[in-house]
């Protein structure tokens, strides 16, 4: 049995996602679709007995986390710059199609103001080693007393008492951070994947409000249960709860579940 289970969720959609504008540390907001996506993933997470909530301090992540924990009264969000997307220097705010042209203006095609890939990987692994592995020596927080204004225990209280004594941690971050984190954890042997085939190339894409689930034992070793799962979003499309147009999911996949071709 794991000592902690992490639910790592990418923020909901922004106008910049839809317009293919590079964001990085640019503090963008969820658009209407993003708010809807956050509500869908909140429903998916409703019966998870969350004990801790961590989020990037950028608003698109914080708002996603806020919507999720509306169904978990009493929990507070701990924000951290360490969970931010990679800083992309002068590319931030530029259209993705202009990337090559912009970088060509720098010697060697490298913007010195951008966070280097190696630096980001060091950042995400430091966060894992200090924050996540740090949980292994900490007691699981007691369940929040969910009582309404009339003193009546909320129905939610039925499943907040987790007898397994496991940390259930919600982490809301960004696609680049999540992909880099999981890739390095697998490469370094800190976690093992349940997938029979290795993750390569486009398999590391992390869609808006996708859920990555990792179990971690007392010894710090973990298991990648799911990576960037969007089953909940595809089901919501099928049921007509969200629009079929999604900035991050290939249109053919959306068409397949919505019946459109």
Alpha helices (H) in the chain, listed in sequence order: 15-19, 32-45, 59-69, 99-103, 117-127, 175-187, 231-238, 251-258
How far is residue 52's CA from residue 120's CA, in Å, rounded to a whole number?
A: 24
Binding site for substrate, residues? 10-17, 60
The answer to whether the predicted template modeling score (pTM) of the entire model surpasses 0.85 is yes
| Enzyme catalytic residues | 11, 85
Binding site, residues? 10-17, 60
Question: Residue 90 to residues 19, 25, 87, 104, 116: CA-CA distances in angstroms?
Answer: 18, 11, 9, 12, 13
pLDDT tens figures, 38-95:
999 999 999 899 999 999 999 999 999 999 999 898 899 999 999 999 999 999 999 9
- Tell the CATH topology of 4-258: Rossmann fold (3.40.50)
pLDDT tens figures, 210-241:
999 999 999 999 999 999 999 999 999 888 87
CB of 68 closer than 8 Å to CB of 188: no
């Amino acid at each position: 049995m794991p000592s902690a289970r992490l639910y790592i969720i990418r923020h909901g959609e922004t106008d910049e996602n839809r317009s293919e504008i590079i964001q990085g540390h640019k503090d963008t907001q969820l658009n209407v679709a993003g708010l809807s996506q956050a509500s869908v993933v909140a429903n998916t997470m409703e019966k998870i007995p969350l004990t801790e909530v961590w989020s990037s301090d950028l608003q698109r992540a914080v708002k996603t986390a806020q919507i999720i924990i509306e169904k978990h009264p009493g929990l507070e969000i701990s924000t951290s710059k360490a969970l931010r997307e990679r800083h992309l220097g002068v590319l931030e705010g530029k259209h993705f199609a202009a990337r090559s042209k912009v970088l060509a203006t720098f010697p060697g095609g490298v913007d010195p103001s951008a966070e280097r890939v190696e630096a980001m990987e060091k950042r995400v692994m430091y966060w894992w080693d200090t924050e996540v592995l740090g949980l292994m020596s900490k007691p699981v927080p007691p369940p929040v007393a969910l009582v309404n204004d009339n003193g009546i225990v909320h129905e939610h209280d039925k499943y907040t008492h987790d007898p397994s004594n496991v940390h259930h941690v919600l982490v809301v971050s960004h696609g680049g951070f999540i992909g880099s984190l999981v890739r390095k954890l697998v490469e370094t042997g800190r976690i093992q994947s349940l997938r029979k085939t290795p993750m390569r190339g486009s398999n590391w894409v992390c869609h808006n409000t996708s859920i990555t689930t990792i179990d971690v034992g007392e010894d710090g070793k973990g298991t990648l249960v799911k990576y960037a799962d969007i089953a909940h979003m595809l089901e919501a499309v099928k049921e007509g709860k969200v629009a079929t147009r999604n900035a991050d999911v290939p249109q053919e996949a959306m068409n397949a579940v919505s019946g459109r071709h």
